[in-house]
Amino acid sequence: MSLARIRWMATVLGVLGVAGVLVLHWLVFFWVGTERTMGIVQRIFYVHVPSAWVTFLAFGITALCGAAYLWLRDERLDWAAQSAAEGGLIFGAIMLTSGPLWAAYAWGTPWTWEPRLTLTLLMWFVFVGYFLVRASAEDRQAGKRMAAVIGVLGALLIPLVHVSVLWFPSLHPQPVVLNVEEGPTLDADMLVTLMIGLLAFTLIFFSVFFLRYGLEHLRYQRALETRGQPRAA
Amino acid sequence: MPAAAAASRAGLPVLEAASLVRDYGPVRAVDHVSFRLAAGEFLSVFGPNGAGKTSLLRLLAGGLRPTAGEVRVSGIPLTVGDRAARARIGILSHLSFLYGRLTARENLRFYGRLHGLDDLDSRVPDRLADVGLEGYADSPVDTLSRGTVQRLAVARALLHDPGIVLLDEPYTGLDAYAGAMLQELLSALKDGGRTVVMVTHNLGRGLELADRVAIQVRGSFVFEAERADLDAVGLERSYRRAVEGRA
Amino acid sequence: MTVYLRQVAAIVRKDLLLEVRTGERLAAMGALTVLVAVLFHFAIDQGLVRMQLLAAGLIWMTILFGGMLGMGRTFEMEREQGAIQGLLTSPVPLDGIYLAKVVSNFVLVTLIEVVALAAYWLFFGFNYGNDPLLLAGVLGVATLGFVAVTTLFSAISAQTNMGQTLLPILIFPLLVPVVIFGVTATGRIFASRPVQEVEGSLYLLAAFTVVALTAGTILFRYVVEE
């Protein structure tokens, strides 16, 4: 993909995404019905679930591109992995703050060691490590490989933590949100709002992703240009 | 070295670089380097810091994946995964690769085991004697002088009788006396029919031993010559021209 | 195969010989293990909490901190005088280097576990249950998983300028399963519960260990290779 094409895509996706988020907020505040048992606070759900979805999508892309990078050593795969991981970190932070805000009311406690909560928190920390390793690697190329290894391991964690927390004998609440996720129990207006949220967040993620990817592309080109100039001996 | 001998009989070069390229991201460290060396040939590669000399040596050692091109040992392409090919290559660097808290003998026995050698009881004392260190077998490496450690490192690099020896700035940190000792040991390499590549920025030392010299600047060989066609003054002049970009 | 095993054995033997000679890693790990136990003594009000109920958790946290301290130096000690380059350019397959380091770290951490169990028995009079064999089995399997992860990541942290500071941030998220199953299993053994109550955790620990060792064996080459 050429740089101009990447920029164009990032812009289009960004404009659509921002429009989507504006519509989403209008719907959340003025249109969608209030959930009966949880009341007004349930509306956080329309931000929380889309950000969770994008977080998993992003970390999935990072793991896949990282594994492919180790195999093929194409720099573009590393740009993609890094760009997705940054998006994942941001949307993960949104998910990890919006979740407890809602849970504090819905569950009566901001945090519980429910499998999905534990899993996402740990994954988020794995990807913090991903960037720490990239930033502190003595050799930039080694940093890319090591980060890719961490990305792959982060993805491996998913099934293990899932099983492990199910087995953990202590607190094991049945999440209330599970009922809402079963399609039929969700009212049509809620479903529409949720779908728009998912779409808008996904568009914004890919916009940021392509912007970030384009930046790496640009840096690479810049470095290639300097290659031609004589180095200090 | 039966394998090396067989290869040279077949007319194949023992060590061959074919259009080697290595990129670190956007940085090109080695740029289309090619050469062929027969058994007993000694190539010295000169170049300023950051010219890609060490990267070239690591490519030749099979420790670095080429971005393009390949290294061939006796005609067989060397791949990073091919651990067995390393048995034919010995590496001497300015770092000794030795463990300070182990004795000279323990270090050599350790490297011997890594190479799967089973005659270590006789081989290790022999190699210590070759570098004049039979009296230091049980001294911890920590207690030895820099020059003595470098001699022990020579014994380490040659322990498994490699047909190819790669030297990475072996003179760094040695005083004049230790440097002369090392020079003596290295000149014996050629006589043993070994193929040697040395990278260094020390023009004098490099020229003394070489059959062929090359100057690497910004990744590529910008100057190559036979030793016979060159004297110290001529090399110095070519080097300056190459580094200043007028080669 | 036998050549491979002999190469691995040579590295293990060298590591242990260095450890016997310098004792640096073991001394630091052992000291930390005992000191953590001392700190727990003062950190927890034993008038409110019965320590025996916390035994498994305390011991596992102690092992984790003590083990991590020593394992963080696994590859840093190879970097002095470039010995790591000697290893990487030798004919030993890269996964052999990883497995050798796993074995020598396993020995170190096992010794630390003995120290930890002794220290807690001495300071708190912990009761370790009536099935020492099962306890050894659980500790062994869990330790192997712990060591498999930490060895891989010590190769990563050694190549950064943050060094060992980075190690806990990288490994703790991945080690949560070891803590969960390890604490559950050892806690039940300490309480002398029937074997059936321990089995489930032990199998999951074994699964974790297998996954960690396999992933480490495959991925190690990408960490050290150029």
- Domain ranges within chain A, ordered by starting residue: 3-220
Cβ count near A176 (within 10 Å): 13
- Nearest-by-CA chain A residue for B240: A233
Q: Which two tokens stand for residue C215?
A: 């992933």
What is the domain partition of chain C in residue ranges? 2-224
Alpha carbon separation from A154 to A67, A120, B20, C209 (Å, rounded): 12, 10, 36, 16
Instruction: Tell me if B83 and C91 make a contact (CB, 8 A cut-off).
Output: yes
Distance from CA of C206 to the nearest CA of B (A): 30
Distance CA C68, CA C11 (A): 20
Instruction: Tell me if A233 and B24 make a contact (CB, 8 A cut-off).
Output: no
Distance CA A88, CA C138 (A): 36
- Nearest-by-CA chain A residue for C171: A126
Q: Which residues of A touch B244 (CB under 8 A)?
A: 233
Specify the DSSP element, H or E, that contains B204.
helix B203-209
Cβ of B115 under 8 Å from any chain C Cβ? yes
Q: Which residues of A touch C204 (CB under 8 A)?
A: 163-164, 167
Res. B65 pLDDT band, cuts 50 70 90: confident
Could you list the pLDDT tens digit for every one of the 233 residues in chain A?
788 889 999 999 999 999 999 999 888 888 877 776 777 777 888 888 899 889 989 999 999 999 999 999 889 999 999 999 999 999 999 999 998 888 888 778 888 887 778 888 988 999 999 999 999 998 888 999 999 999 999 888 777 666 655 655 444 334 434 444 444 456 778 888 888 999 999 999 999 999 999 999 998 888 888 765 444 33
Chains contacting A (3+ CB pairs below 8 angstroms): B, C
| Single pTM value for the model | 0.89
Cβ of C89 under 8 Å from any chain B Cβ? yes
- Nearest-by-CA chain C residue for B110: C10
Q: What is the pLDDT of residue B190?
A: 78
Q: Model confidence over A86-138: pLDDT tens digits?
A: 999 999 999 999 988 888 887 788 888 877 788 889 889 999 999 999 999 98
Instruction: Tell me if A223 and B243 make a contact (CB, 8 A cut-off).
Output: no
